[in-house]
Amino acid sequence: RRSFCRNRKSIFSRLNEFSASMRRKTTVGEVDADVLDYTAGKDRVLDLALAAADCMGTAAHVTMLARVPVKPPLLEARHARQIIAELREVYLDAAEGRFAITLEDQDVHLAVERRLTERLGDVGKRVHVCRSRNDQIAVDLRLYAKVRLQEAIGAAAWLARMLVALAQRHEKAPMLGRTHMQPAMPSSVGLWASAWAESLLDDIQLLQTAYDLNNRSPLGSAASYGVPVPIDRQLTSDLLGFARPVHNVLHANQTRGKLEAIILSALGQVMLTLSRLAQDLIIFSMPEFGYFRIPAEFTTGSSIMPQKRNPDVLELLRAKAAKVLSHAHFVAEIVRASPSGYNRDLQEAKEPFLDGFELTIRSLRILAPLMAGLEVDEAALRAAFTPDVFATDRALELVAAGRPFRDAYHEVKAHLDQLAGQSPDEALAAKNHLGAPLGLDLAGMDAAARQVESWVAGEKKLHAACRDRLLGLKSKKKARTG
């Protein structure tokens, strides 16, 4: 028995020694290596995209701390200036790809704090007072989303303008209108192209609504319950260029996940528009239709068939639309069963959120030059018209002469063979009411898209001004380039 006890103690001792050797030291204490790797996940890679936002958030926070009316001060003004000077260096290093996040850092917040502590000693250790990583990531994601929503809205407006331009170039080009993919009624390229432009303008309204919801500062909510110090949340909100703070500190943190799902849903609506447009382009550029020719640079070849020019860009876009839509649902599912307060589940929402922006913005940007270079084959469009396509127009002519519609309907249906010789151009000319093929306000659509671009330019200017003021970037950039 004594031998067994000695052996057991020896085994436990070795296990403890092994366990100790497997623990990693971090800013927030020692953590088992496997647990650290599992919980850190991809944050040390994904968070590189948030470095600029984290520097801005920390600069605003320390500026505010230096003004809190308590004695002794939470942070002296001279120390705040030192921290901001170092944050500027972190920002510039991150922009040039020289900033790294280690596994021991876990995320961008602790990586920035480590850097500040390495360079400034005890001064760097003061940056986290009255703050939690919960409100840090919340503000980082909102600042990141603000910039990316500006990009998405601007790219959507530019694509809308390319579609309007296509509609203006071919406003009167006849195009067969289809329902159930079957020939239906006379239409035009102008109507087809501007329909997608108007859809994007609707999608932009959703993106701008998401932008407004995002444009509120959660900073200062700490771990969701505030702090027993008279911090100034309005000041940090103003310094960061937000419209206002999120009022309730618990709600400020609980918008995590839900806000990402809202933004992804809005991006998903954009991708729905793009995916359906892509499907039309694929179908109508097939040799059997030949209405459009996709620019060669937006097609790819086959590994075995020399003649092939495949619409891979458009096919991939359909799949990317499915990904963005699934990202929105996935993030909503993460939040669905979460209790109040912060829950680590939210970490898994970060990757689909960042990916949703990337997929949508890249898709918008690649479609704009494709649409600008799209060729329209008017001869193929006219050849697609068959006499039966004019049936509805003929029935309405009879109605105008006094026939009840249903009687006219059945008469035309019984004599479809009498519809030969109808002119697509005359049919279009008769459709000049609001929104019809020759009643389109294409100039108004273009003006609406330009107005959106002007709004985006203004928002970008405001954000850049806040960033440069917080970090003193303009003077530092001149020094580096000089």
Do β-strands 182-188 and 216-217 pair in parallel, antiparallel, or remain unpaired?
unpaired
Do 82 and 76 meet the contact criterion of CB atoms below 8 Å apart?
no
Helical ranges in 96-219 per DSSP H: 108-120, 133-169, 189-214
Supply the residues annotated as catalytic.
180, 302
- List C-alpha distances in Å: 159 to 55, 154, 194, 247, 284: 33, 9, 11, 37, 19
Residue (of 99, 133, 97) closest to 119 by Cα position: 99
**Per DSSP, what are the bridge partners of residue 179?**
182
Do 90 and 55 meet the contact criterion of CB atoms below 8 Å apart?
yes
Could you tell me how many residues make up the chain?
482
* Count of CB atoms situated within 10 Å of the CB of 172: 14
Residue with tokens 């389109």: 440
Cα separation, 205 vs 247, whole angstroms: 25
Contacts of 28 (CB under 8 A, 6+ apart): 106, 110
72 prior amide bond cis, ω within 30 = yes
Do β-strands 216-217 and 244-245 pair in parallel, antiparallel, or remain unpaired?
parallel
Cα separation, 407 vs 395, whole angstroms: 9
Contacts of 74 (CB under 8 A, 6+ apart): 65, 66, 68, 126, 129, 130, 229
Residue (of 187, 122, 69) closest to 440 by Cα position: 187
Give the three-class secondary structure for 377: coil
Cα separation, 324 vs 302, whole angstroms: 28
Cα separation, 130 vs 222, whole angstroms: 6
Cα separation, 189 vs 378, whole angstroms: 9
**Per DSSP, what are the bridge partners of residue 175?**
187
